[in-house]
Chain A
Amino acid sequence: DTAVSQTPKYLVTQMGNDKSIKCEQNLGHDTMYWYKQDSKKFLKIMFSYNNKELIINETVPNRFSPKSPDKAHLNLHINSLELGDSAVYFCASSQGPANTGELFFGEGSRLTVL
């Protein structure tokens, strides 16, 4: 059973389009995250949610809108896509706050903006 699953795995789209990535975890964790990994492999946190509530928004442009309908799901919608949005987006979850233990990552969603 996949602990953290995200879909789709690949997205290829034109500049200006809107796209969504879905994430679900079956670990019973309270906290979920979105990370962006650029072409240089740098992993940068975008958002943290705890029990469906937004806790961290790391100066992400408001074209990015996360939504957590329940604590097992955290989706990411991106409006007006730009070339610089091309990256791998990882969803992750943890039992509680980030300092309490391991982050469990999804497989990643590779977004390519043409």
Chain B
Amino acid sequence: GENVEQHPSTLSVQEGDSAVIKCTYSDSASNYFPWYKQELGKRPQLIIDIRSNVGEKKDQRIAVTLNKTAKHFSLHITETQPEDSAVYFCAASRGAGGFKTIFGAGTRLFVKA
């Protein structure tokens, strides 16, 4: 069945450093790859997404890359700040008619001031 693997499960960085989170997916029909940020006690919220016809997308300090051949996608956060501390989820959803988004297990990011 569909599966999304996410690594690492925990990531600790110093303020100002970069953070990278990696995911792989199994369903070759997946064509939409969102990333969600969940702060403690809050709801998951979309921070960036990428579609399968695009290899890279950037929004200020956040960038995502997608390698469809290898079924890998990654989140890059540069110049990390303490407020970036949260759980980050990668996800994948499949092509036409698909009604479910499969989430990775999450990465708990700690940014130390």
Contacts and interface: CB of A to CB of B under 8 A. Distances in A.
- Chain B binds chain A: yes
Nearest to A103: B101
Interface residues of A, number: 25
B102 interface: yes
A39 interface: no
A82 interface: no
Contacts, number: 67
A25 interface: no
Contacts of A33: 100
Chain B: interface residue count, which band? 20 to 34
B99 A102 contact: no
A106 interface: yes
Interface in A80-106: 90, 97-103, 105-106
Interface string B79-99: 000000001010001111111
Given A41-B87, A42-B106, A103-B34, A98 B43 contact: no
A55 to B, nearest CB: 4
Interface of B: 30-32, 34, 36, 38, 42-46, 49, 87, 89, 93-103, 105-106, 108
Given A42-B103, A99-B98, 16 more contacts: A31-B99, A33-B100, A41-B87, A41-B106, A43-B89, A43-B106, A55-B99, A56-B99, A58-B100, A98-B98, A99-B95, A101-B49, A102-B46, A103-B44, A103-B46, A106-B43
